[in-house]
Amino acid sequence: MNTDIKISGEPLHIQSCVDWVMSPQCGGINVFIGTVRNETKGKKVIQLEFEAYESMALSEMNKIAEDVFKKWPVQKILIHHRTGILQTGEVPVVIAVAAAHRDAAFNACRYTIDTLKETVPIWKKEIFEDGEVWVAAHP
């Protein structure tokens, strides 16, 4: 198995993500770690809440992985996304890509996070001191 895709309500473990993509044929691993920022447009964010349409989100994440294998010579790809309430500094998303050469790993990792943000049905609610708002990344 060269693809590991997961949506979880539990904290993501970055090191085990990296360990999973490590393989003898790979010469480089590219990792993207999304983290919860403490402000948005100058407004203090207390926490974020992530909601997923899980069955479809998994299906769309699988499509991204399939595309990656078609586009670049990549050994392994891992995409883990968290759901539920996250505090500042916590990790909602980890993407790890292993390839024989770094160009493929960099390009595939960037493509994966960019496409995830456009197509995967997961939503983020920002919770401020005085209210909350669903974020529309692509209105």
Partner 1 sequence: MKVLAFGIVKDIFGNSMVHVDLTDGATIDKLKMLLEEKYPRLNQLGSYMVAVNNEYASAGDLVNEGDEIAIIPPVSGG
Return residues touching partner 1 (CB under 8 A).
34, 50-53, 55-57, 59, 81, 92-93, 113, 116-125, 134-139
Question: Minimum CB separation from partner 1 for residue 29, in Å?
Answer: 19
Name the 3-class secondary structure at 126: strand
Of residues 16 and 35, the one with the C-beta less far from partner 1: 35
E-assigned strand segments in 3-130: 3-8, 28-34, 39-40, 43-52, 74-82, 84-87, 93-99, 122-128
For partner 1, the closer CB: 26 or 34: 34
Q: With respect to partner 1, which residue has the nearer C-beta, 37 or 101?
A: 37
Residue 67 to residue 65: CA distance in whole angstroms: 5
- Shortest Å distance, C-beta 80 to partner 1: 12
Please give the radius of gyration of the chain, using alpha carbons only, rounded to the nearest integer.
Answer: 15
Closest distance of CB 109 from partner 1, Å: 12
